[in-house]
Chain A
Amino acid sequence: MSIVRILARHTICEALRDRTEVGNNVFNSLINGVKLDGQGNLNIGEGQKKPFISVFTDMSETKAVSMNNMREPGLTDIVIEWGYAEGMAAVNEDGETFIMQGLAVTDDAIEFTLDIIAHQIIAALNADTVWAERWKQVRSGGIKAMRRFRYADQTDNTRLAVQQLRLDCRLMDDPMPGEPLPYPIEAILSDMDLSQDLNIQAHATLIRNALTGTITDWQAVQRRFGMSRDQLLALGRGPLAGDDERATPPLQSGVLARDNGPDETIEPDPQD
């Protein structure tokens, strides 16, 4: 369930980039505190003096008859936060700060701007764009709940306001290692390969490493259902009992000996 969380964050970030009032100030899992230095420059991104958006994947919960395989992402909390702290807008020599075109910063101008950004976020995620489409595929199980919160204060030695959107999303299942990548994962990884951000290129490589490899049929069954060796063997799959090397070769041919009839030669089922 971890790979699709990565893809959820990435597709949302790309779907929002340059489509809201924050421009390129869209961040994936911003952990560091946003800080304004003595020259008035922000410590995030390229220091654009604009509000910011940060995208997180938070807790998830899955309830099913069996969760043995631990692969289903269940309902995952996608958290999108956007906010303004003093300094996240251009200031002129008179000390006037403009948060949007023609809009001087006041308390209600901050709230206004954050509501406009909220509108732009929803519009961008619903837009008919490549990245919005990929996000919709990653959350193909549907959005089951949506909660919005806001907070504003000046007790942190600056004036700030922040809003949050929490989406309970049923994300697609994580791909099985060794199996063909389901749509749209290959397309997302191919774009990540071409990113200007070297870390995103590294993400693509590391995800491919995690998902590629050779896997036998019985290993695929074992992983898909989270089976123990005994459970697998009880279904007639996997190595023979006692084969600690897990090297039992596939059945080539065998003889079924009957007490009350002629012996029968067994050939493996080509579909098996």
Chain B
Amino acid sequence: MSLANHIRDQVVAANDTVWGETLQLLPLTDGRKSSERPARTFSGVLRSQTVETNNMTAGGTDFLSKVASAGSVLRIDRARYADLVIKAQDKIRAVSQPGAPLYIVQHVDDRRHDRLVVHLGDA
């Protein structure tokens, strides 16, 4: 491991130790419990976004119904969780938060060297 990568991993690990929270991954395949990836708990940094009310057609006006949702962004230490596989449509439960809110994985950004960035929708 290069010195730069070593420093990077140390920084990420130190940060996530402070700011990380316990999360539960519920892997799903076609909406049903995955037979290949068991549920597991892990730690990551979850940052909720601001609730916004939008027309259901993403700001269009042809539809009249609206939805209010926030979504979250989850950042996971790749060095610590090199074997963690998260796929779109999996669910993630923030078990340490009030009410243990549930999220659905919208997409996973794995083109980064430091963290896995998971974009979550309210679920």
* Nearest CB of chain B from residue A237's CB, rounded to whole Å: 44
* Selected interface stretch from A88-96, A177-185, A187-195, A243-251: A88-96
Cβ 8 A contact of B101, one of A33, A40, A85, A159: A40
Q: Say yes or no: A156 contacts B97, CB within 8 Å.
A: no
* Nearest CB of chain A from residue B101's CB, rounded to whole Å: 4
**Is A11 part of the binding interface, using a Cβ–Cβ cutoff of 8 Å?**
no
A19 to B101 CA separation, bound complex (whole angstroms)? 31
Given A35-B69, A156-B67, A157-B71: A96 in contact with B31 (beta carbons within 8 A): yes
A interface footprint on B83-122 (CB within 8 Å = 1, 0 otherwise): 0000001110100011111101010000000000000011
- In the complex, chain B residues whose CB is within 8 Å of the CB of A159: 104, 106, 121, 123
**Is A81 part of the binding interface, using a Cβ–Cβ cutoff of 8 Å?**
yes
Q: Say yes or no: B58 contacts A95, CB within 8 Å.
A: no
Q: Say yes or no: A105 contacts B68, CB within 8 Å.
A: no
Q: Say yes or no: B67 contacts A81, CB within 8 Å.
A: no
Q: Say yes or no: B28 contacts A95, CB within 8 Å.
A: yes
* Selected interface stretch from B1-9, B10-18, B48-56, B74-82: B48-56
Q: Say yes or no: B33 contacts A94, CB within 8 Å.
A: yes
Q: Which single residue of chain B is at the shortest CB-CB distance from A98? A: B31
Q: Say yes or no: A38 contacts B98, CB within 8 Å.
A: yes
- In the complex, chain A residues whose CB is within 8 Å of the CB of B57: 151, 153, 162
* Nearest CB of chain B from residue A107's CB, rounded to whole Å: 9
Given A81-B64, A86-B123, A158-B69: A97 in contact with B101 (beta carbons within 8 A): no
Q: Say yes or no: A106 contacts B56, CB within 8 Å.
A: no
Q: Say yes or no: B122 contacts A157, CB within 8 Å.
A: yes
**Is A135 part of the binding interface, using a Cβ–Cβ cutoff of 8 Å?**
no
A105 to B56 CA separation, bound complex (whole angstroms)? 19
A155 to B32 CA separation, bound complex (whole angstroms)? 23
A221 to B84 CA separation, bound complex (whole angstroms)? 79
* Nearest CB of chain A from residue B102's CB, rounded to whole Å: 6
- In the complex, chain B residues whose CB is within 8 Å of the CB of A30: 64-66
A31 to B64 CA separation, bound complex (whole angstroms)? 8
Q: Say yes or no: B91 contacts A95, CB within 8 Å.
A: yes
A156 to B106 CA separation, bound complex (whole angstroms)? 11
Q: Which single residue of chain B is at the shortest CB-CB distance from A87? A: B123
A104 to B91 CA separation, bound complex (whole angstroms)? 13
- In the complex, chain A residues whose CB is within 8 Å of the CB of B62: 149, 164
A226 to B90 CA separation, bound complex (whole angstroms)? 63
Query: Which residues of B are interface residues toward A (Cβ below 8 A)?
Result: 26, 28, 30-33, 39, 49, 51-54, 56-58, 60, 62-71, 89-91, 93, 97-102, 104, 106, 121-123
Query: Which residues of A are interface residues toward B (Cβ below 8 A)?
Result: 30-40, 43, 52, 54, 56, 58, 79, 81, 83, 85-87, 91, 94-97, 104-106, 109, 149, 151, 153-160, 162, 164
